[in-house]
């Protein structure tokens, strides 16, 4: 059985920060490193943040059916490999996936026991403020992100839980409770609970 905990949400929702906090809190977590065709950003490291590959290589992986899910986001491609899931989501580990709504739906269909959590901003206006605070946000990219965020929020109804991230501490406590509830369902071969 695969232990999979999906966290999705639009850019600026606080999703990445909450995932980082969750991983720091629980030793039993592993993290899925996605494949992407986008260029590496400053401070990112290949194979730690993403597997940075060419579009040609990405399409070859699609042809060979090596992805559990993949999607086109912001004119680039992102995918989660089946190997990454199999390697990191069994036994005493719970794999955290940071993927979009399309990917979340595919993962839920393929792995029904997975838990899906959607991180939502308190409002679109607040999301706009958060995105504008980020450095190097181009106007075109910004507008596109808002459109995608609105679409994602409309399609998030199939998620198991939705957290409105108005206050980071409160949101983390809510996410932690959801994670602990999910974690309590899994038992190691020796009969011990996952730590």
| CB distance 95 to 2 below 8 Å | yes
What is 4-183's CATH topology? Rossmann fold (3.40.50)
| pLDDT exceeds 70 at position 140 | no
| pLDDT exceeds 90 at position 4 | yes
CA 68/CA 107 separation, integer angstroms:
7
Q: What is the pLDDT of residues 34-89, one digit of tens each?
A: 999 999 988 999 999 999 999 999 999 999 999 999 998 778 999 999 999 999 99
């Amino acid at each position: 059985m695969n232990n999979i905990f999906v966290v999705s949400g639009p850019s600026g929702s606080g999703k990445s920060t909450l995932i980082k906090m969750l991983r720091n809190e629980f030793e039993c977590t592993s993290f899925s490193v996605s494949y992407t065709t986008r260029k590496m950003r400053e401070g990112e490291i290949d194979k730690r943040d993403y597997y940075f590959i060419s579009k040609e290589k990405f399409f070859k992986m699609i042809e060979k059916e090596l992805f559990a899910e993949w999607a086109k986001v912001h004119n680039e491609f992102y995918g989660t490999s089946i190997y990454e899931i199999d390697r990191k989501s069994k036994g005493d580990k719970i794999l955290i996936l940071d993927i979009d709504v399309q990917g979340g739906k595919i993962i839920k269909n393929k792995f029904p026991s997975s838990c899906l959590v959607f991180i939502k901003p308190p409002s679109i206006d607040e999301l706009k403020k958060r995105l504008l605070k980020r450095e190097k946000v181009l106007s075109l990219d910004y507008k596109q992100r808002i459109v995608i965020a609105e679409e994602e929020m409309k399609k998030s109804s199939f998620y198991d839980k939705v957290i409105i991230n108005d206050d980071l501490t409160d949101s983390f406590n809510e996410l932690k409770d959801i994670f602990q509830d999910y974690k309590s369902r899994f038992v190691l071969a020796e009969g011990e609970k996952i730590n």
